[in-house]
Amino acid sequence: MKGKYDSDITLDELKVQIRKSSGNPNVGKTFQTELKSGPRAYKIATFFEILDPKNGKVHHHSLKVETYNESKKHWKRKPEHSITLSSEKENEIGALADFLNTYRFNLHKLSAGDYRVLSEDRLQKISEVQTLLKEVGSKQKLKIVSQLLGELEGNEIPLDDFEKLFRIGGRDTIKKVAIASRLVEYRKTLHGFEKMLDEKDLNETDYQKFLTENPWLFGSEYSELLDRRKWTRDESLDFMLRRTVDNHLELIEIKKPIFKNLFNHDSSHNSYYACSELSQVVGQVMKYIEQIGDKRESILAKDQEDVLKIKSKIIIGRTGSTEQQIALKNFNSHLYNIEILTFDQLLNIGKRTLGIFESKRD
Identify whether the C-beta of residue 343 lies closer than 8 Å to the C-beta of residue 320. no
Q: What would the pLDDT profile of 173-225 be if each residue is shown by its tens digit?
A: 778 778 888 888 999 999 999 999 999 899 999 999 999 899 999 988 888 88
Pairwise CA distance, residues 63 & 152, whole Å: 37
Q: Which residue has the higher pLDDT, 132 or 2?
A: 132
Q: What distance separates the 2 farthest-apart alpha carbons in the chain?
A: 112
CA dihedral 330, 333, 339, 343 (to 10 degrees): 30
pLDDT of residue 236: 63
pLDDT of residue 153: 63
pLDDT of residue 176: 79
Burial 306-334 (b: 16+ CB within 10 A, else e): ebeebebbbbbbbbbeeebbebbeebeee
Kindly indicate the confidence band of residue 279, based on its pLDDT and cuts at 50, 70 and 90.
Answer: very high
Listed by start position, the domains of the chain span: 4-89, 106-169, 200-345
Q: What would the pLDDT profile of 284-297 be if each residue is shown by its tens digit?
A: 999 988 888 888 88
Q: Which residue has the higher pLDDT, 85 or 126?
A: 85
pLDDT of residue 349: 94
The three-state (H, E, C) secondary structure of the chain, written as one string: CCCEEECCCCHHHHHHHHHHCCCCCCEEEEEEEEEEECCCEEEEEEEEEEECCCCCCEEEEEEEEEEEEECCCEEEECHHHCEEEECCCCCHHHHHHHHHHHHHCCHHHCCCCCCCCCCHHHHCCHHHHHHHHHHCCHHHHHHHHHHHHHHCCHHHCCHHHHHHHHHCCCHHHHHHHHHHHHHHHHHHHHHHHHHHHCCCCCCHHHHHHHHHHCHHHHCCCEEEEECCCCCCCCCCCCEEEEECCCCCEEEEEECCCCCCCCEEEECCCCEEEECHHHHHHHHHHHHHHHHHHHCHHHHHHHHCCCCCCCEEEEECCCCCCHHHHHHHHHHHHCCCCEEEECHHHHHHHHHHHHHHHHHCCC
Q: What would the pLDDT profile of 88-138 be if each residue is shown by its tens digit?
A: 887 888 888 777 766 666 655 555 555 555 455 554 555 566 666 777 777
Question: How many Å is the Cα radius of gyration of the chain?
Answer: 33
Q: What would the pLDDT profile of 299-347 be if each residue is shown by its tens digit?
A: 888 878 888 878 999 999 999 999 999 999 999 999 999 999 999 999 9
pTM of the model: 0.57
Tell me: pLDDT of 2 over 60.
Answer: no
Q: What percent of the chain has pLDDT over 90?
A: 27
Tell me: pLDDT of 237 over 80.
Answer: no
Tell me: pLDDT of 230 over 70.
Answer: no
Q: Which residue has the higher pLDDT, 241 or 282?
A: 282
Q: Which residue has the higher pLDDT, 87 or 115?
A: 87
How many beta carbons lie within 10 A of that of residue 298, not counting itself?
Answer: 11
Tell me: pLDDT of 234 over 60.
Answer: no
CATH number for the domain whose boundaries are 200-345: 3.40.1350
Pairwise CA distance, residues 245 & 211, whole Å: 21
Identify whether the C-beta of residue 251 lies closer than 8 Å to the C-beta of residue 292. yes
- What residue type is 69 in one-letter code? N
Q: What would the pLDDT profile of 246-255 be if each residue is shown by its tens digit?
A: 888 889 999 9
pLDDT of residue 123: 46
